[in-house]
Amino acid sequence: MKHIIEKQKYLSLNPTTKEIVAEFQMMNKEEIEEIILATVEAQKEWKKIPAPSRGEALLKIADLLEKRADEWGQLLTTEVGKCIRDGVAEVYRSVSILRFFAGEGYRMTGETIPSKQEGVLAYTKQQPLGTVGVITPWNVPLAIPIWKIAPALVAGNSVVWKPANQSLLISQKLVALFEEAGLPKNLVAMVQAEGPVVGDTFAENENIKAVSFTGSNKTGKIINKLLATRGIRFQAEMGGKNPFIIMADADIEQACKDIVAGGLLDAGQRCTATSRIFVHTSIYPAFREKMLEVLETVKLGPPTEEASIIGPVVDQGQYENIWSYINQAKLDGATLIYGGDEPEEEWAKNGYFIKPKLFDNVSQDMTIAKEEIFGPVLALIQFSDFDECLKQANAIEYGLSSTIYTKDISAAMKYVDEIESGLVHINLPSTYSEPQMPFGGIKSTGIGGFRELGTHAIKFYTEWKTVYVRTK
Ligand SMILES: NC(=O)C1=CN([C@@H]2O[C@H](COP(=O)(O)OP(=O)(O)OC[C@H]3O[C@@H](n4cnc5c(N)ncnc54)[C@H](OP(=O)(O)O)[C@@H]3O)[C@@H](O)[C@H]2O)C=CC1
Ligand SMILES: O=C(O)CCC(=O)C(=O)O
């Protein structure tokens, strides 16, 4: 007998005001299964369209998004509290991602390999998997779904998409935009349902051929285990605890600015966010002074205002979670040297605002040095020996992003070789990434080993065929 859960309503709230932005009726398992069937049907025609033409459909979506970048930016501000400049930047980033993947339609190549037999043609080709599941978080609610869905589509698949509940309105509008751009109905279908209901359905339903997920480590591991029973492909990006190393010869001012860019934009709610800052003892006093000075310029405020650099965190759950880490850090003996007071202005009364926090005297065994906080919280750790610093930077289960600030090319190259992370930055913020470059982590961040973005992304969504043809 099929498992049916009671229908529930989900209210999407504006994190700045707690006003209701939209109301959604959650789907049950049977409804999700119906959507999967409709999506399977849509793929049958889509896969016949040549890949370059499938890519052209993505260009139309890109054009529509670009034309309405401000409107979309405001939507991101309203539903997930992104500061308007970051919201609009995410729209333009999504446009670039779509254009990159549109071009991939022309690059869905195989190989022609010389046969040893006369009269035999030997070649390989890529084919779509069929229908795939995509599960996305709320923190990058436009760009992450697009960087999963675009390669899936250009490769000839259809998509059942489970967005985070906190960003359902954005997601619903994105699906509508796909249709406006001319994509067939149900080629990308959204399911609005509780995560575990979708996870179970994807795991059981044989029409789902692969699942791409971004979110917490805990949830990713649950889904990985569920999917393992059918042995289907799983692509995962499951968080980070990203180190930022400042060597004795570093440009301190640039490092401080990039700590803000990488650690505090989007209120630190990025898997690539700078979190643990290792500073060489010899420059520690100078760094500390500059960091405090730079933090004074970081304006916390309503995300609708152009001047705001940090807005609210996404919801009550996230707010409480971040505060539990801040309180734990104090209990563990770390010293709060910036952010001890919260905003008292009228705009802050209803929103989930947290002033950025800088902790000093953090040691590796403290919770804030080990667990992903996903908030505007930075931890300072001093080091005097580079090898020891690398050892500490690597002593966590995550391996997504990392950064070093130095002018010493040998130190930088040693760092590239030894740091355990999928994304490595030298004198750039930990969040820096471009669509044509692969994105993803190692260790428990990147179970499965499949990369997103770049030309690697398509590989997750295709099957290879090896073809032998008698030609004479
Ligand atoms: N790596 C990253 O980029 C992200 C990391 N996180 C981390 O996770 C913490 C908690 O955030 P949260 O949003 O709860 O993260 P989750 O990992 O729980 O949620 C991410 C997505 O997975 C869905 N989901 C949840 N449970 C299941 C399941 N059993 N099967 C299938 N899908 C599921 C969620 O849906 P639903 O909305 O229904 O719960 C959402 O769409 C954050 O504080 C942060 O540390 C969060 C987001 C992104
Ligand atoms: O925006 C990025 O590049 C990082 C994506 C991210 O924050 C995430 O996966 O949660």
Write down the catalytic residue from 31, 83, 90, 271. Answer: 271
- 371 is a catalytic site residue: no
Q: How high is the mean pLDDT of the chain? A: 97
Per-residue confidence at 7, pLDDT binned at 50, 70, 90? low
Question: Distance from the CA of 52 to the center of ligand 1, in angstroms?
Answer: 34
Residue 442's CB: how many other CB atoms inside 10 A?
15
**Among 144, 275, 318, residue to substitute to test ligand 2 (most atoms within 8 Å of Cβ):** 144
CB distance 65 to 91 below 8 Å: yes
Give the whole-number percent of the chain exceeding pLDDT 90: 97
CB distance 66 to 89 below 8 Å: no
How confident is the model at residue 125, as a pLDDT? Answer: 97
How confident is the model at residue 313, as a pLDDT? Answer: 98
Write down the catalytic residue from 237, 372, 420, 452. Answer: 237
Question: Distance from the CA of 205 to the center of ligand 2, in angstroms?
Answer: 28
- Cβ contacts of 163 within 8 Å, gap of 6 or more: 136, 138, 141, 145, 170, 171, 190, 192
- 271 is a catalytic site residue: yes
268 lines ligand 1 (CB under 6 A): no
Burial of 336 (0-12, 13-18, 19+ CB in 10 A): middle
Per-residue confidence at 5, pLDDT binned at 50, 70, 90? very low
Question: Distance from the CA of 272 to the center of ligand 2, in angstroms?
Answer: 6
Compute CA distances 16 → 172, 283, 317, 349, 370, whole Å: 21, 39, 14, 9, 29
Residue nearest to atom 43 of ligand 1 (CA): 374
pLDDT tens per residue, range 287-336: 999 999 999 999 999 999 999 999 999 999 999 999 999 999 999 999 99
What are the tokens at 46?
A: 């889509």
Residue 298's CB: how many other CB atoms inside 10 A?
17
- Ligand lying closest to the C-alpha of residue 274: 2
Question: Distance from the CA of 136 to the center of ligand 2, in angstroms?
Answer: 11
Residue 456's CB: how many other CB atoms inside 10 A?
15
First and final C-alpha spacing in the chain: 56
Dihedral Cα 147, 159, 66, 72, nearest 10 deg: -100
Instruction: Please state which of the four CATH numbers 3.30.1360.200, 3.40.309.10, 3.60.15.10, 3.30.342.10 is assigned to the domain occupying 242-426.
Output: 3.40.309.10
What are the tokens at 70?
A: 């401000």
How confident is the model at residue 447, as a pLDDT? Answer: 87
Residue 90's SS3 state is helix
CB distance 371 to 397 below 8 Å: no
Residue 472's SS3 state is coil
* Residue boundaries of the structural domains of the chain: 3-237+436-470, 242-426
What residue has token string 């490769």? Answer: 155
Distance CA 335, CA 228 (A): 44
**Among 9, 216, 237, residue to substitute to test ligand 1 (most atoms within 8 Å of Cβ):** 216
1: pLDDT strictly greater than 60: no
Question: Distance from the CA of 162 to the center of ligand 1, in angstroms?
Answer: 11
Average pLDDT estimate for 385-413:
98
What are the tokens at 247?
A: 């060597």
109: pLDDT strictly greater than 60: yes
Amino acid at the residue 294: V
What residue has token string 């010293």? Answer: 335
Span 3-237+436-470 CATH architecture: 3-Layer(aba) Sandwich (3.40)
pLDDT tens per residue, range 231-272: 999 999 999 999 999 999 999 999 999 999 999 999 999 999
State ipTM. Answer: 0.97
Per-residue confidence at 204, pLDDT binned at 50, 70, 90? very high
6: pLDDT strictly greater than 90: no
* Ligand 2 pocket at CB < 6 A: 137, 139-140, 144, 214, 237, 270-272, 431, 433
Residues in the chain: 472
